[in-house]
Amino acid sequence: SDQPRALQQQQFSEWKCDSAVTQGTDRGWTCCPKGWRRFQKSCYFLSLDKMNWAESQQNCTGMGSQLVVINSREEQVLLYELTKRPPQRDNFYIGLFAEKVGQWQWVDKTPYNVTAAFWRKGQPSGFSDENCTVMYVLELSINNWNDVTSDLRHHRICEAAAVTV
């Protein structure tokens, strides 16, 4: 999938870098802003504050990132674990939405693949106004996506491409 646009590097005064060699890539360093978590070639930011869906996406893009696009089971498992860390939060917006009922799409235009989706049992519920997606932290299985209305305020997960230097 297309890498998220470059992080607005001037916005972040501190970066955390580790040697890219350990990942078997070329020499150099792979970096994320301080306070973001790195997994493979992405950096993730889990917010402490809450916003509605549009504000959440705007906040992520303002940092040169986007609401998270989940491309694999490994990525879902990682985020499942990260969302359970303190402080306790309940719902996190991710970058999956539907302009028309049942037509789910990712914010970066990655094709939606139902076999790589992690809906909770009974979800998506199919209500016409529930057109955005959250990860529901209290769910005990990695299938923790819920469809919700876009006006509700939730935490968010932003994703950006890690910077290699």
CATH code of residue 130: 3.10.100.10
pTM over 0.85, yes/no: yes
Give CA–CA dist 106/53, Å, rounded. Answer: 13
Could you tell me if residue 4 is inside a domain? Answer: no
In a domain, 62, yes or no: yes
* Cα 100 to the center of its chain, rounded Å: 22
Tally of domains in the chain: 1
Q: What's the Cα-to-Cα distance from 125 to each of 54, 65, 81, rounded to whole Å? A: 21, 29, 25
Task: Let me know if residue 3 belongs to a domain.
Answer: no
Question: Does the residue 132 lie in any domain?
Answer: yes
| 40-75 confidence digits (pLDDT tens) | 999 999 999 999 999 999 999 999 999 999 999 999
Find the domain containing 80 and state its range.
Answer: 9-164
Q: Which residue matches tokens 């009922």?
A: 101
Does 83 map to a domain? yes
Whether 14 and 150 have beta carbons less than 8 Å apart is answered as no
1 domain-assigned: no
> String of b and e for 106-127 (b: at least 16 CB within 10 Å)?
bbbebeeeeeebbbbeebbeee
Alpha carbon distances (Å) from 133 to 10, 27, 83, 141, 159: 30, 38, 15, 17, 15
pLDDT tens, residue by residue, 74-118: 999 999 999 999 999 999 999 999 988 889 999 999 999 998 999
